[in-house]
Structure 1
Amino acid sequence: MVDSRPSTDGEAIRRRRECVVCRARFTTFERVELPDLLVRKRNGTLSSFSRSKVLDGMHRSAKDRIPLEELERASFAVEAS
């Protein structure tokens, strides 16, 4: 590797590399791959996280007492944490 720095968007790392055989240089961009969120169910099995399921559950339990926009913000906060 010849050089390494953050990309202009800040979400990747830009690396300049050099081939050990032909000495040609090339650029690679590396991004962090976040793992899928998993939820452990009551029976012990794992399931993929679904923001829509969280939103549906909150909407059912709130019974229209809380505006849908507020519930959506809360569901995004759950996913982000």
Structure 2
Amino acid sequence: MRRLVEKEEVETIRHIVEEYLKEKGIDPHEEIWVDSKKAQEILGVRQTQLYLIRTEPQNKIVFSQPNRKNIMYLKQSLYDYLNRNIR
């Protein structure tokens, strides 16, 4: 019984979050974080250039690195970088 209640609560919270994101103009099913391969595609660069862009603080690339080889990038920060640097 407890497990059923937890699932219902999770679904209720998920619905609330999805509605909030929709109100803010964000697709709740769109990827927020992307891996290095997708980040390279978005920026049109290779691995070394992505590293150089990521390590410069003024570029404001938001990333998470839970371990040495797994780096996830906040997709919006990549698009913001492009908007700031491509005219």
Under TM normalisation by the shorter chain, which class is it?
A: under 0.3
> Which protein is richer in helix relative to its size?
2
Q: TM-score, normalised by structure 2?
A: 0.25
Look at both structures and tell me which one has the larger radius of gyration over its CA atoms. 1
- More relative contact order in 1 or in 2 (CA 8 Å, sep 6+)? 2
